[in-house]
Amino acid sequence: MAEVHAPAEAHDEHDHKPHGWRRWVYATNHKDIGTMYLIFACTMFFIGGAMAMVIRLELFKPGLQFVDPQFFNSMTTMHALIMIFGAVMPGWTGLANWMIPMQVGAPDMALPRLNNFSFWILPFAFTLLLSSLFVPGGAPAGGWTMYPPLVLQTGASFPMLVFSIHLMGASSILGAINIVVTIMNMRAPGMTLLRMPLFVWSWLITAYLLIAVMPVLAGAVTMLLTDHFFGTTFFTAAGGGDPVMFQHIFWFFGHPEVYILILPAFGIISEIIPTFSRKPLFGYEAMVYAVASIAFLSFIVWAHHMFTVGMPLAAQLFFMLSTMLIAVPTGVKVFNWTATMWRGSLSFEPPMLFALAFLFLFTIGGFSGLMLAIVPADYQYQDTYFVVAHFHYVLVPGAIFGMMAGVYYWLPKWTGRMYDLKLATWHFWLSAIFVNVLFFPQHFLGLAGMPRRIPDYAVQFTDWNMVSSIGGFAFGLSQLLFPYIIWKCVHSGERIGNRAWEGAHGLEWELPSPPPYHSWTTPPSDAVIARGAAH
Amino acid sequence: MGAELMAQESEERQRRVRRSALLWLSVAAAFYFGYIVLTLVRAAR
């Protein structure tokens, strides 16, 4: 009789893991790498947030108060780069690392060493970017959009900017490939595509977006680099190049990037609302198709960011109408979330509170986006604080609140302990109130004509700037509660069982809390999968 | 499931993982070089 070998991964069923620094530097475990991504994102969130405080401090009163204009412009540029590439994107990748293998019934990510490499690129990329603050000429100050010819005037920090963008891009592409390969190849038998949780679906679509657009950004900055150092004239009009071409290429990346930042939040909200409504998600398949439609449309709307450069009427109409079309699948999602709550048995724990704030406030950002999509109106709003208000409503109560909702939802699973619900509720209310004090007045400032990216302004804008700055300081301070709540949870939270929330469904809730080092060494049975996929 | 069958399935899965990782890496590379070529072609017009 042939000898029966145990499955290759059987020895991993024990919870043994490397200890000390080796556990983190050589990490190949999806949970360890997820934790590192989340800690990195949180650190960047506070660094980027500190830069936002500098911006709001300078804008508290008209006139130059604390920083010179060059440094102010560096702050706006670095704040955007750090928040987008350092906080939100790694934050989502951290959540993907933690949750996707657990949710699809896999023991780990498909390519664990690549996963380690993707993460460890990031600290180098951001050390490089942040160290540009200390080189002659200061950090990049031409805006995160890096438009030529302005960006070509950047001093010694220019190659640092380009190289750090390349590193961030490489990290994102490798991370995205790992996620696609994991979802397509590592699902447990019986975990069909239409049984996958919405978070997994939204990440699958996000990963396809990343693979398609991050190389485009890398190509664009490579061309900037050769224009700067090797005498090419891709974007230099004097040599026959076209600076507007850069804007087209940049926004071909930039608009899908917006959806890269928000789609995983859609997935998380689609997990949380059913749990705290104690009802299955309304219209699961419609939600999947809506996310896919939004992703598709994101590729054909880029020029709405650049209506004022001058383009044929037909192009303006096309980009205006295609942009407005995005409201349809987004409306489907908002309708389905609301319908999920309809006649549900609702409760308002912190994840649900953040999800509800997401629903209301992201919709406000969506509406102002529709206003900006209208070409003649956009001519008025272009480069004003109205645009700043719009994208911060989408990204702060959208992406950031979505991420916080996700962390508050899954933290008990990760740690095996419940956090201080009262303190987290305080965190929610302070965030929800002050995010509006911070960003809502910026709509008024923009409509009144205050331009963005300026360190000084006309006196008639003073009052709303003061209100906005007060909101900014209070919002920033209230975020300090977040790491404290997590720290307290890890150290002294009350122990909980497998299912932290009464109405939670999904494979992750079938595992113990905290889950074993390798999640599903034996694939879950079909009955367990069916119980998890209660939509 | 027999041990041999499991080993075969694991090998097949590894092959699939490698194949799809390479496929998506080439898609990313195509987008990177494609956009540079596109700009060159447009500039040459």
Residue A132 CB contacts under 8 Å (≥ 6 apart), including other chains = A138, A139, A140, A156, A157, A160, A161, A164
Q: Phi and psi for A29 in degrees, rounded to 5?
A: -80, 135
Residues A403-456: pLDDT tens digits? Answer: 999 999 999 999 999 999 999 999 999 999 999 999 999 999 999 999 999 999
Mean pLDDT of A505-510: 94
Q: Phi and psi for A291 in degrees, rounded to 5?
A: -65, -45
Whole-number Å distance between alpha carbons of A445 and A138: 29
Q: DSSP labels for A71-119?
A: HHHHHHHHHHHIIIIIIIHHHHHHHHHHHHHHHHT-SS-S-HHHHHHHH
Residues A200-251: pLDDT tens digits? Answer: 999 999 999 999 999 999 999 999 999 999 999 999 999 888 999 999 999 9
- Angle at CA of residue A119, ends A104 and A23, nearest 5°: 85
Between chain A and chain B, how many beta carbons pairs sit less than 8 Å apart?
Answer: 80
Residues A316-332: pLDDT tens digits? Answer: 999 999 999 999 999 99
Residues A4-28, buried b or exposed e (16+ Cβ, 10 A)? eeeeeeeebeeeeeeeeeeebeebe
At residue A502, the 3 state secondary structure works out as coil
- Contact criterion met (CB < 8 Å) for B21 and A220: no
Interface probe, candidates B36, B40, B42, B45, chain A, greatest A C-beta count within 10 A:
B36
A351 pLDDT band, cuts 50/70/90, is very high
Residues A444-486: pLDDT tens digits? Answer: 999 999 999 999 999 999 999 999 999 999 999 999 999 999 9
Higher pLDDT, A526 or A299: A299
Mean pLDDT of A151-170: 95
Given a cut of 90, is residue B7 above it in pLDDT?
no
Residue B15 CB contacts under 8 Å (≥ 6 apart), including other chains = none
In angstroms, the separation between the Cα of residue A518 and the nearest Cα of chain B is 17
Q: What is the pLDDT of residue B3?
A: 64
Q: What is the pLDDT of residue B13?
A: 86
Task: Tell me what the pLDDT averaged over chain A comes to.
Answer: 94
Q: Which two tokens stand for residue A472?
A: 């900014």
Query: Is residue B18 a contact partner of residue A206, using CB atoms and an 8 Å limit?
Result: no
Catalytic residues of A: 79, 108, 144, 171-172, 255, 257, 259, 270, 304-305, 330, 333, 452
Task: Tell me what the pLDDT averaged over chain B comes to.
Answer: 82
- What is the pTM (predicted TM-score) of this model? 0.93
Q: Is B20 on the interface with A (CB under 8 A)?
A: yes
Q: What is the pLDDT of residue A528?
A: 86
Which residue has tokens 């912190």? A350
| Portion of chain A with pLDDT greater than 70, in percent | 97
Helix (H) or strand (E) holding A68: none
Q: What is the pLDDT of residue A530?
A: 84
Whole-number Å distance between alpha carbons of A45 and A51: 10
Q: Is A343 on the interface with B (CB under 8 A)?
A: no
A5 pLDDT band, cuts 50/70/90, is very low
Among A12-26, A88-102, A176-190, A277-291, whose mean pLDDT is lowest? A12-26
Share in percent of chain A as helix, strand, coil (round to 5): 70, 0, 25
Q: Compute the radius of gyration of chain A from its Cα atoms.
A: 23
Q: What is the pLDDT of residue A10?
A: 42
Mean pLDDT of A275-295: 96
Cβ within 8 Å of B, A 2-31: 2, 4-8
- Contact criterion met (CB < 8 Å) for B28 and A110: no
B38 pLDDT band, cuts 50/70/90, is confident
